Structure 1
Amino acid sequence: MSLLQDVWNRLRVQCHKQLCDVWNPNMTPVCRKTSLSSLGFHSSICDLALQSGPPTLKLGSHSLTFRHGQWVRHGRAWEKSRLQSLGWRLQSLEEENRELKLRLEVLIDLLVDTTVHMHTLEREVSEMERVRQVRHPEKNVAKEKGPSMTG
């Protein structure tokens, strides 16, 4: 739609320049009656003949056709450039996807290493507490009774 808006803005500026130079709101144009018979046969057929098919607008390498209430783009130049840009976009997205998968794999490996290390530390702590209970059983009894109330 931005292409149509750009064309519309250019036409509006051009028409504004031409109308401001010539048009005077105080003057009314003179109407003349013209019959179709006064025109030549060839010119009347060419001027008044309806074109077959939907209206088409060509702007440079772009071509627009009005179908079913909408302007539709078509033309080889547009299709090739669109396919090429989509191909580049697909390639960049696939590359980004590969990179994200690699990052995910690295993060999972880090998580596994950290989890293994945590379990190892937990086992060492539990082993140290078991050894302490075996060596100093009197401290464990005092802990079980709780703090003494002296006073």
Structure 2
Amino acid sequence: MAHSPETRDKVRRLYVFDRIGLEMAALQCGVSMSTASRWKREALDDGDDWDKLRAAAILAGDGIESVARAALAGFLTQYQATMDALNANPDIKAEAKVQMLASLADSFNKTVAASRKVLPETSQLATAMEVVQKLATFIREKYPKHAQAFVEVLEPFGEELAKTYG
């Protein structure tokens, strides 16, 4: 099926300027993923690098903070996917899991430390999360009978933290 140049331009615009993933841009335009990938590849061959333009648009539009937020969000998505895969796969030996978890923890710490330099709210959020975790441990160890009430309060309080620290 032949698509109009306008459709190709819309896929490009969604991907480059609206920062929608190529698969979603293709879906929104009624184009197969293979067609969108081919268009992107052909554009690159012609000197139109959609990925470089996308990065430039991010920097020009929202600045380095936006890039750092996107990088941190992408890492956290991968972090969660890795944790889910580790928990779902009983065939991974304990020793290998420990190594993977140590590597993941190291990557997490480095990513958060790097983002603190660019995103002050990341540091604030990390501090807030640490305080909440310490409070949870304190309640569990010293006042276990109040643990259920703490859990009930924690969810709405988490929403307040998210509003405050993003």
Normalization by structure 1: what TM-score? 0.26
Q: Which has the larger radius of gyration?
A: 1
1 or 2, which has the higher strand percentage? Answer: 1
